[in-house]
Structure 1
Amino acid sequence: MAARNPLAAITPIDDGARIHAWGDVWRLVRTSAKGHKLKKVHDPDVTMLVTHTVYNAEALTSTFRREDDYFRPRSVVERARKHPISISHLPLKDQNDIEFKIECITEYYKLYYNKKISRTADGFKRAAELISATLGLLKQKPNRNVNDPSPPPKKRGCRNNFDAALNGSTLQSWIEKLEAADWDFVELRDGRNRSGNHNGRFSPETYTLLEDYAHQYCRPHCPNRRNVYDDFKVAFNALNNRFRDEGRPLDHLPSFSRFCLEIAKLDDWEVDYARLGHEAAHRKRKLIGAGLDVHYALERVEMDYYNVDLHLLLVDTEVWKHLSPKLRIQIERNRWYLCVAIDVASRCILGMKLARSESSQVALDTLRMVFYDKTGIGRAAGALSPWDQCGPPWMLTTDQGSAFVKSWFQFRAVSLLADVFNPPAAQPQLRAFIERFFRTVLEGLLKRFEGNTGGSIAALGDYPAQLRAVLTVEQFSHLLVRWCVDIYHHKKHAGLGGETPRDAWVRLTKLLPPMPAPDPCRMRISFGIDLKRPTRMTGIRVLGLDYSSEELQAWCRRKGDTEAEVKVDPYNLGAISVRLDPDSVGFITVPCRTRFMEGRRLDDWIQASEELSRRYEDVAQMRLPIILKTIEEIQRTHRRAVEIADLKGIEYDCDRIEHYEGKLSIGFAVPASEDFPGLASVMPTALPSQSSRTGTLPSTFALPGSLSFAVGASRVVAGSSSVPALRPTSAADVPAADLPTGSTPIPPCVPDRSAAPEAEEARSAPVPDATEPAGPRRRRTTVKLEK
């Protein structure tokens, strides 16, 4: 082991220094008393120990150079800031060229370190030959002789010649350029990016004229480029005439393509702003952000109206079948509005309603559909899959339409939801999901039918969509429900990553199940019909039904007859909500005295009243079993129509209810269940879902002048084998209590406190059933009801 020379000075070296010496680049590994241990920067496996004497002697030479703190992190960051361009910033073609050059230079240094070549001209030539053989660069050099037609000459520097055999001088220039640039590989980029003639071909005045007339394209009257170019040629000829007078050389006329290139340099926003206006340019060039961040079902529900791009026949389907072609032409055809509620997270449809126009009532009915299971509607339309997507949404998003911004709708929606959001008008991107669904309806369903408008006037063309309408509203409702439930919910959705909306709903509801729907009282207060009705000791009468409770009667005893605010649920007439004190904020629930009305719909009650008015127009008294039987018959025979009516039902309000009360003479009083002690003995067991409160109908009925049939019998259908036994009943068999009595007074339907005690006892006595089938030599009495 060599001992340290005590006379040699020890020169300290920084740990991050880069040393250029001994024909290579080195960095320090460690320093000891014997000397410095160095390693190569580009080949760290190669190390050497240099004594202090040798190092000091090398430091005095002209080729020695030391860069302190070169490998320190702060120095690396500083160099990156000064030269921010890296290979990844360059075009792909330039990156491929640099990668090829780096590969050739790496092979050269391998040969140089193995002492196979030297850094001379002959050494570079030998290295080029060896590298070409190693990399398979055996392609012949391109023929530079342009006079030799075979093979065809190639352009000098063509990128297709990169796999040709290397030249020694080319390899030497690459290495020298890289070493001079401090191993910055970006310097290996050739100058083809700067190729071409960058000098202008026209005079400065012509360029100015081109720019000025290019801006003439940005005009509100939207001139085309050809017209603007024609104006430019007139101005250019005047410019050339001026050059001729001044003795200057004339310019060549820029072509139409060159003029279009000048227009293309203009900012797109500037062009649209000038030609289309601010609003249109903003809609066309609007910025798109990251979008909504929705993770759970019902987290965000969007609602909007859609003017269906399909003309529908405003006639009943059965009537349409029997119309002549001449009459069919005269049938009115129109486009309806579809109100839709969609869940953003799963893209499932939560509610739909068809209407002739946009209204707040239809929007509120659509919102109500969000809260309950709609499988019955789907089954009535013939759908094979359940429509069970329901629950209270976290936030409701609508547009600025008149149906949604009304305070009447806003107050009722806020009473059930945590938040109601109305984005600014003319910003459809803020409600992108519901808007995109409308286009899906057009492309997936409406374009299958005759009478579709195509979505725009341009798409419609000369097609007579209104005259080609073939679907009725009822038929379209069935098809719309089936398409939504059986096709849309089970089709792969690109916005869900290929997942179907129903699968997304199942997955998200397992992650976070929906909250239960509000109680019936809260739903009635939010979605009910507002009425004003007087209070009395017998209760509150709505559509001939009496509603009473102990709390209501106590109020009437204290305050007397007053007017109260009433909320009626059109989907359940079994109870109403009443606000007795106008200054209070609370409602009380008042049940119907006729327990049979629990769960009955307003549509059924109106239809039953119309049927009774038609049948018993000349009869002064009606019986409760007949009323109940009519309701049951309406529900059974029109169940499918009632389910579909959820999509195109009648909008009930206080004025319409008052109209039916007056038109149908529903001023008769329907007796309460407790007013018929004998009725319970003839009624069968209550319905399963209402066994605690409601009764059902008698087993059979004999309607005067009509047929006798069993309750619950299947609907009579043409061609059906299961037809119940029917028996005609003549008018002579009608009980005398059912015929007009003339001078005989009609007892009231409710207990009359001013009547005689004998009459009271007579009314409270048990009465046998009057609804058994009429038979020979049998006569039964019945309870008289006031008309």
Structure 2
Amino acid sequence: MSSSFYLRKDQRIFIDAAEYTVVRADHAGETMLESSASGLRQIYTAYQLVQMYTEGRVATASEQRAQQAPDLKRKRPPARMDGMSARAKAETRRRLDILIRVDNANGFSMSREDIEVLLRDIARDRKDPFPPHVSTVYRWRRKYEKAQRDVRALFSCTDERGGRGVSRLGPEVDQKVDEVIDELVLARHAFSPQEVQEAVKLRIDLLNKERSQSEQLTAPSLRTIQRRIASEGLYDLLVARVGMEEALRRFSVRGAARRVGRILEMVEIDHTPVDLLVVGEDRQVIGRPTLTVVLCRKSRACLGYCLSLAGHGVPTVFAALRHALLPKDYLAERYGDLNLSWPMHGWFERIVMDNGREFHADAIADALLSLGIAVEFAASKSPNDKPHIERFLRTLNYGLIHTLKGTTLAKVHHRVGFKSEDEAVLTLDELDRIIHVWICNVYHQRPHRGLAGKTPLEVWNSDVLIYPPQLKMSPQEVDYEFADVEEKPIHHYGIEINTYKYNCAALQDLRKALPMGAKVHVKWPRWNVGHIFVWNSISQAFITVPNNREDLKGLSLDQAQAVKEAESAPRRDLGVVAGRGSETIRKLEKEAAEATQLKNRRKSGRLGQHTSDKSRGIAPEPVPVAPMAEEADNELVTAPDDGTEFDEVEMEVVS
């Protein structure tokens, strides 16, 4: 096995960081090296040198300089041009060009007078107003030859002039500055440079008390302290300010979001306050709505959304999911004059949510599992788990909402020279109409950089041919699944949920067929306390059981609770009459809408359950009760709620 490792006489190399000088090299491939520290000489074969070189144990003098830590008092010439300034790079090229031109003209064999003439000619040709002196050129040549014609010997060191980056403070002052920075800057959430300077000055004063007048130390200026703090590592400063966990998150490596191969394979859901104030029918500001959006990750298409003044709880999430799953068949009737097309719908496989309390509700998890949809939760403080919905919400607010009258903009300090309350003119229905137009005619038809220049509508239409959307349930069955779930026993007065009693003949027939003390599976919709759904394990179907209070039909749980509070407060001049829940809600809503303060007018949006579902006319409706037996048409007279057992109460059946 033959190897070659050519070294020149007197060349300096480093083996395992120890310096050696080449004494001689013969044709047999043996090289004699002399240790610069001990003077001992040792012979290495070419194979040994090549093997150590490939293992990284042998380095040339220039490589060793680059690896060594820089000397703060006297820096070595740079080993590469990467970190040099533009001025230093230009000077390096100038030196090399002048040496090449002089050497090509055999200038170094001329007299000094002839070289001066040659240098002036070169400077004139280069348009250089200041030609180098002859001695300077000879000095460059000596350095070049001494470095065995290594051009790095000509690298300019002009960047190191003036001691830039080198502390001019004494070692004791330097030590005190470092101590104070460690204590006040790197160990606290907040600091001020003035505080650091005062602490340093105090410690310098204590040292000066033990020193003579001629040995007094000078405290650094405020600007020096500011520069020293700015030179600290950004990661260390961030750890002190926001903590280790947040600093690691901000400096973590973020790759591309998880990719999917087809539409509806994965969707993202999130909500955000809309940067706009809406008004009521009387054109008075009633609040700032919340938008809940469902987005397809593959096509970036918006599958559905819910706009609500009633908050962003479980009902709002259900409304957005319902809008995303089912076809938008209301468009022709509601927005026929706009000629809108929104083909996005269908069952998706997985949904990614954040860690909001409403998304972790058991009702949502159970409903999605019943629909055959897997649920994933994004990691805490990891927006890259669902980046597309975050970007969509930002695009909607910045691209549309901020251009409308009544916008609050993104930040308070951006609202300069105007008041959003004075400019608000849009109702919730009008805003819902504008968002429909923007999604269908702008967003879905605009080229998307993440889709290789295609529009979301184009990607959806192309994938639909291969992966057609599926509708696995009817709208009524979806409403069943989107109700809250509980296990409840059936009493003689029916089923009690949220202090309301639900009863009917079909429910009592089911009670007769079940064992004593058995509980049934109950689904109760928050958007309508007028009825509940009870699972009949015998007929394998749901029973719709009405509320004993017919006046609460169509009211949400929040509205029904507001009615109960109003009925228990007789001092209020609302004309509240028990058994007229809808009338009570209208009066409460009117009272809130006429309030002088905005915080009180916001209640009208919650009391009226103002959501985009109602404006579209697609709010879930109760399903008719299916009779279970021939006696189902008979009217059941329930026992009084006095604790008496049902079997002991006489019943009168009216035929």
Q: TM-score range by the shorter chain?
A: 0.5 to 0.7
**Partner Cα separation in structure 2 for residue 194 and residue 557 of structure 1:** 96
1:211 corresponding residue in structure 2: 178
Secondary structure of 2:277's match? Answer: strand
**Partner Cα separation in structure 1 for residue 114 and residue 48 of structure 2:** 34
Kindly tell me the number of residue pairs found equivalent between the two proteins: 506
2:347 corresponding residue in structure 1: 392
**Partner Cα separation in structure 2 for residue 134 and residue 509 of structure 1:** 72
Secondary structure of 1:216's match? Answer: helix
2:290 corresponding residue in structure 1: 337
Say which of 229, 237, 248 aligns to 2:214: 248
Distance 1:290 1:567, change over 3 A: same
Secondary structure of 2:278's match? Answer: strand
Distance 1:180 1:644, change over 3 A: same
**Partner Cα separation in structure 2 for residue 481 and residue 545 of structure 1:** 41
**1:101-112 alignment, distance < 5 Å:** 111=104
Say which of 84, 93, 111 aligns to 1:91: 84
**Partner Cα separation in structure 2 for residue 70 and residue 174 of structure 1:** 36
Offset of residue 433 of structure 1: 2.6
Distance 1:398 1:123, change over 3 A: farther
Amino acid at match of 1:203: G
Say which of 352, 355, 360 aligns to 2:314: 360
Amino acid at match of 2:424: A
Contact 1:353–1:648 under 8 Å retained in 2 = no
Offset of residue 176 of structure 1: 5.2
Q: CA-to-partner distance for each residue in 1:520-545, whole Å, 9 max, x for gaps? A: 497566447879999xxxxxxxx999
Q: CA-to-partner distance for each residue in 1:632-674, whole Å, 9 max, x for gaps? A: xxxxxxxxxx996367778769xxx5xxx9xxxx99x99xxxx
Contact 1:340–1:366 under 8 Å retained in 2 = yes
Amino acid at match of 1:359: G
2:24 corresponding residue in structure 1: none
1:289 corresponding residue in structure 2: 254
Q: CA-to-partner distance for each residue in 1:495-534, whole Å, 9 max, x for gaps? A: 5565543344446656x53553325497566447879999
Q: CA-to-partner distance for each residue in 1:363-389, whole Å, 9 max, x for gaps? A: 123223333333743873455552222
Say which of 254, 258, 262 aligns to 2:224: 258
Unaligned runs of 5+ in 1: 1-12, 22-54, 60-65, 143-163, 321-327, 535-542, 548-552, 592-601, 604-641, 671-747, 753-785
Offset of residue 167 of structure 1: 6.5
Contact 2:185–2:240 under 8 Å retained in 1 = no
Contact 1:302–1:434 under 8 Å retained in 2 = yes
Offset of residue 412 of structure 1: 1.9
2:153 corresponding residue in structure 1: 187
**1:725-764 alignment, distance < 5 Å:** none
Say which of 182, 189, 193 aligns to 1:225: 193
**1:263-274 alignment, distance < 5 Å:** 263-274=229-240
Secondary structure of 2:410's match? Answer: coil
Say which of 445, 450, 458 aligns to 2:400: 445
1:404 corresponding residue in structure 2: 359
Offset of residue 73 of structure 1: 9.4
1:430 corresponding residue in structure 2: 385
Secondary structure of 2:163's match? Answer: coil
**Partner Cα separation in structure 1 for residue 91 and residue 458 of structure 2:** 50
Distance 1:188 1:291, change over 3 A: same
Structure 1 residue 374 corresponds to structure 2 residue 340: no
Structure 1 residue 471 corresponds to structure 2 residue 436: no
Distance 1:529 1:213, change over 3 A: closer
Offset of residue 255 of structure 1: 2.5
Secondary structure of 1:310's match? Answer: coil
Say which of 453, 457, 472 aligns to 1:518: 472
Contact 2:363–2:484 under 8 Å retained in 1 = no
Q: CA-to-partner distance for each residue in 1:284-343, whole Å, 9 max, x for gaps? A: x35241131324333432111212232222x34xxx3xxxxxxx5xx5612222111122
**Partner Cα separation in structure 2 for residue 477 and residue 372 of structure 1:** 18
Distance 1:206 1:374, change over 3 A: same
1:775 corresponding residue in structure 2: none
Amino acid at match of 1:336: P
Q: CA-to-partner distance for each residue in 1:738-765, whole Å, 9 max, x for gaps? A: xxxxxxxxxx99799xxxxxxxxxxxxx
Cα root mean square deviation, aligned: 5.7
The percentage of aligned residue pairs carrying the same residue is 19
Amino acid at match of 1:362: T
Distance 1:15 1:305, change over 3 A: closer
**Partner Cα separation in structure 1 for residue 313 and residue 218 of structure 2:** 66
Secondary structure of 1:350's match? Answer: strand
Amino acid at match of 1:294: R
Offset of residue 262 of structure 1: 1.6
1:414 corresponding residue in structure 2: 369
Q: CA-to-partner distance for each residue in 1:55-108, whole Å, 9 max, x for gaps? A: 99xx9xxxxxx9956997985774886628674644363555555656666667
2:596 corresponding residue in structure 1: none
**Partner Cα separation in structure 2 for residue 588 and residue 127 of structure 1:** 107
1:347 corresponding residue in structure 2: 300
Distance 1:338 1:194, change over 3 A: same
**1:699-738 alignment, distance < 5 Å:** none
Secondary structure of 1:339's match? Answer: strand
Q: CA-to-partner distance for each residue in 1:687-741, whole Å, 9 max, x for gaps? A: xxxxxxxxxxxxxxxxxxxxxxxxxxxxxxxxxxxxxxxxxxxxxxxxxxxxxxx
**Partner Cα separation in structure 1 for residue 541 and residue 157 of structure 2:** 88
Amino acid at match of 1:197: G
Distance 1:191 1:271, change over 3 A: closer
Contact 2:315–2:526 under 8 Å retained in 1 = no
Offset of residue 424 of structure 1: 3.6
Contact 1:398–1:422 under 8 Å retained in 2 = yes
**Partner Cα separation in structure 2 for residue 234 and residue 177 of structure 1:** 50
Contact 2:351–2:376 under 8 Å retained in 1 = yes
Amino acid at match of 2:427: T
Question: Which structure has the greater CA radius of gyration?
Answer: 1
Secondary structure of 1:190's match? Answer: coil
Structure 1 residue 311 corresponds to structure 2 residue 277: yes
Say which of 127, 135, 143 aligns to 1:139: 127
Contact 1:178–1:185 under 8 Å retained in 2 = yes
Ranked by relative contact order (alpha carbons within 8 Å, sequence separation 6 or more), the top structure is: 2
Unaligned runs of 5+ in 2: 10-26, 32-43, 67-78, 491-501, 545-552, 555-609, 636-653
Offset of residue 261 of structure 1: 0.6
Contact 2:267–2:348 under 8 Å retained in 1 = yes
Q: CA-to-partner distance for each residue in 1:376-427, whole Å, 9 max, x for gaps? A: 4387345555222234333211111122101211122234455311124444
Amino acid at match of 1:204: P
**Partner Cα separation in structure 1 for residue 339 and residue 118 of structure 2:** 75
**Partner Cα separation in structure 1 for residue 4 and residue 246 of structure 2:** 60
Secondary structure of 1:303's match? Answer: strand
Distance 1:182 1:370, change over 3 A: farther
**Partner Cα separation in structure 2 for residue 128 and residue 395 of structure 1:** 81
1:122 corresponding residue in structure 2: 110
Distance 1:20 1:241, change over 3 A: closer
Distance 1:423 1:506, change over 3 A: same
1:636 corresponding residue in structure 2: none
Amino acid at match of 1:255: S
**Partner Cα separation in structure 2 for residue 648 and residue 219 of structure 1:** 56
TM-score, normalising length: structure 2: 0.59
Contact 2:483–2:525 under 8 Å retained in 1 = yes
Distance 1:558 1:240, change over 3 A: closer
